[in-house]
Amino acid sequence: MTLEAAFVGAWRLVSCESRDASGEVRYPFGEQPAGQLFYDGAGNMSAQLMRTRRARFAAGDPGLGTDDEVRDAFNGYVAYFGTYSVDESNGAVTHHVSGASFPSWIGVNLVRYYTFDDGGRLRLSTPPTEAGGRSLEYVLLWERMS
Report the 3 state secondary structure along 4-26: HHHHCEEEEEEEEEEEECCCCEE
Tens digits of per-residue pLDDT, 87-111?
999 999 999 999 999 999 999 999 9
Helix (H, G, I), strand (E, B) or coil at 31: coil
Whichever domain contains 138, its CATH number is 2.40.128.640
Asked if residues 100 and 91 have their Cβ atoms less than 8 Å apart, the reply is no
Note the Cα 57 to chain centre separation in Å. 24
- Looking at the structure of the chain, the number of domains it has is 1
Which residue range forms the structural domain that includes residue 78?
3-144
Q: Identify the DSSP state of 60.
A: S
The pLDDT, as a whole number, for residue 57 is: 92
For 29-55, what is the mean pLDDT?
A: 96
**Is 90 exceeded by the pLDDT of residue 138?**
yes
The pLDDT, as a whole number, for residue 129 is: 87
